[in-house]
Structure 1
């Protein structure tokens, strides 16, 4: 017979190595056709999970926007009733506006620039300092103003890194 290794599989039949190779290739094709059915199913499940997460995220962002607008409206009503506006009220309104700006930035670019939450944090700390008034502990004032300084420094570094890119 020809070259190759032969195996006696019983019954007087002989099987060449090339026949074994063809059999192995057929098995691999059968296995891969099983995987082909599995891969699209896994991809479909993965895409479905991603869609659920995306829809949930967008729903929460809409809820945040609605709550922010509601809180702004409540604050405006309080200011109208009091017939007085203080710096702390303006800073609170600025925080609300920044939250809405952050949501707008997310919807336009599908990402949130890191500087927006940092600006919100600086404004919130400034408002906290104003709310504490003159009677507060001076060491706390130093810590809060130091935090504002660190956040401002972080914003400066980030903006310079972005300018370089």
Structure 2
């Protein structure tokens, strides 16, 4: 028999009735802070690890965004996430041609995903396991983030390129 754990949602958070927040069967949690807003058609899914999804205060996550818990996702305070972003804190193993990809399961953790305070992530971005987006950064629409992003920088593209700084 599976044991399910409860998510922790602040009383002042606004969660759309059309949002899909899963309940973990392995002890992971979703935690959403004060005054945060999670729009319709956002999906938070436990997959590829036992990490938690922790969302700080005053965050806004727009429609169509998907968060795969994997090795953990930590989002600071006052973070804006535009529509249709994907956060994947896990990755499939695929190196052996003698096993199917599903048999190989998942790669070891690269540290999950960390997003510090006061970050804006534009529409249709992909943020991968091991990404660290430092305080005050901006990630332009359609970008792919896979490493550490310096504080207060403006970054766009694939590969991701710094194009400026917040002053």
- Bigger Cα Rg: 1
**What TM-score range do you get, normalising by the shorter chain?**
under 0.3
Bigger share in helix: 1
Please give the TM-score of this superposition, normalised by the length of structure 2: 0.26
Please give the TM-score of this superposition, normalised by the length of structure 1: 0.26
Bigger share in strand: 2
